Amino acid sequence: MSKETITKIEIEKAATSKINDVDFNNLSFGSIFSDHMFVCDYKNGSWQTPKIIPYQKLMLDPSARVFHYGQAVFEGMKAYKDDEDGIWLFRPDENFLRINKSSKRLAIPEFPEEYFFDGLNTLLKLDNKWIKKGFGNSLYIRPFVIATEAGVSASPSSEYKFMIICSPAQSYYGGEVRVKIADHYSRAASGGFGFAKAAGNYAGQFYPTNIAKEEGFQQVIWTDANTHEYLEEAGTMNVFFRIGDKLVTCPISDRILDGVTRKSVITMAKDLNIEVEVRPIKVAEVLEANKNGTLKEIFGSGTAAVINPIAGFGYKGDKWELPKIENSYAKKIKEAIMDIQYNKAEDKFGWRIKVD
C-alpha cells in the first residue's frame, strides 16, 4: 500500500485459525469472519495505541452511548487477490475520507490516516489466506466506529472504539431484483445526515423495505422527502437509469451517499464513450420513458455487487418489467471495473492500490 508505515501496532495472533472449518464455495455474505480484527480506542481526548487481536466478542456497558443515541458509522470495502497472489484494494483513500466525513457529522473524533492504513495493511497481511483467488472472490472489509462511554445523558460520547473486521465473500448475485419507487416513506431529509454511512440511516430503511417485500419487491428506490417527485437511491445503493443511450444519475447532496462505486461507474462509463448526465431525475420522467420505450435499464451501484441490475419496478400499485438487454451498460461497466479490481486490466485512473 502506498502509505508510509509509521504506526506501532500491538499484535496478538490467534492461537489457531478457523480457516479450515470454512466452506469457501458456500459463503453467506457477511456471516463468516477472518481470524483477526483491528481495534483502537479513543479516550482522554486522543486515540490510543492500535491493536490487532484475535476476532472475538466485545464487552460493553449496557449504558454505552451507541445503544442509546446511535453514534455509529461504518464503511464497506474489499480486498482482491490476483492470479500471482498479489493483494489489491480499490480506492481505499475514498473510504478513509468518507468514514471521517461521516464521523464528523455524528460528532465522533476523526481517525488518524496512518492508523487506518497501517492497521488495514497489517491486518490484510496477517489474514491474507482468507483472500481467495478467482474472479468474484474477495475479502469484504468493514471499518466502523462506535460510542462506548457509559452513561445515558443525551450528549456526545467521550470514548469510542474504532474497529476493522473482515469477511470472505464470493461473487455477489442476489437473483432478479425488482424495486418499489417510494411515495410515502423517506430515507433522508435535507439538513440531515443521509450522506453519512451512519448505522441509523440503514435501520430506518428496514420497515418500509419489509412492506415493499410483502408486495413482491426486493428493494425500494427512495425519493426526496419534501415532494417524493425526485429519485434518489435504490435500497442501500446509488441508482442509475439508462434513457435512450444516456446514463442518468442524480447528483449527490446531504441526503445522498457519495458512493465510491458510483463515482467509478460515472468515470468508467465516460471512458467507454457512454454519455452520462448527472442531474435531478423526476419519477414522472422515468414513467414517461418507460411508457415510450426509451427506458432501457435501471441498476444500482455499491461495494457488494459493484452493479446490480434491476429487472422491474413498481409505483403506486402499478408494476412494469424492463427489457432484457444482452450487451447492457450495466454488464459492460461492471466487467471493466472488476478487471481493474482483480489486476486483469490497465488501471489508467490510479484506483488500484497494492498491499505490500
Output the CA torsion sign for 314, 315, 318, 324.
negative
Strand 231-234 vs strand 219-223: parallel, antiparallel, or unpaired?
A: antiparallel
The reported pLDDT for the residue numbered 146 is 98
pLDDT, average across residues 47-52: 98
Three cell numbers, residue 303: 461495494
Torsion angles phi and psi, residue 206, rounded to 5:
-65, -45
CA distance 172 to 144: 22
Q: In the prediction, which pLDDT does 356 show? A: 86
Other beta carbons within 10 angstroms of residue 16's beta carbon come to 9
Amino acid present at 222: W
- Asked whether residue 7 carries a pLDDT value surpassing 70, the answer given is no
Question: What number of other Cβ atoms are within 10 A of residue 103's Cβ?
Answer: 22
Is 242's pLDDT higher than 60? yes
CA 147/CA 91 separation, integer angstroms: 27
Q: Mind listing the pLDDT tens digit for each residue in 192-223?
A: 999 999 999 999 999 999 999 999 999 999 99
> What pLDDT score does 176 carry?
86
Which cell numbers in the block locate residue 328?
447492457
pLDDT > 70: what percent of the chain? 97
When the candidates are 3.30.70.360, 3.30.470.10, 3.20.20.80, 1.10.260.40, the CATH number that belongs to 10-171 is 3.30.470.10
Q: What is the pLDDT of residues 97-135, one digit of tens each?
A: 999 999 999 999 999 999 999 999 999 999 999 999 999
**31: Cα separation from own chain's centroid:** 16
CATH top class, domain 177-341: alpha beta
Task: Delimit the domains of the chain by residue range.
Answer: 10-171, 177-341
The answer to whether 223 and 189 have CB atoms below 8 angstroms apart is no
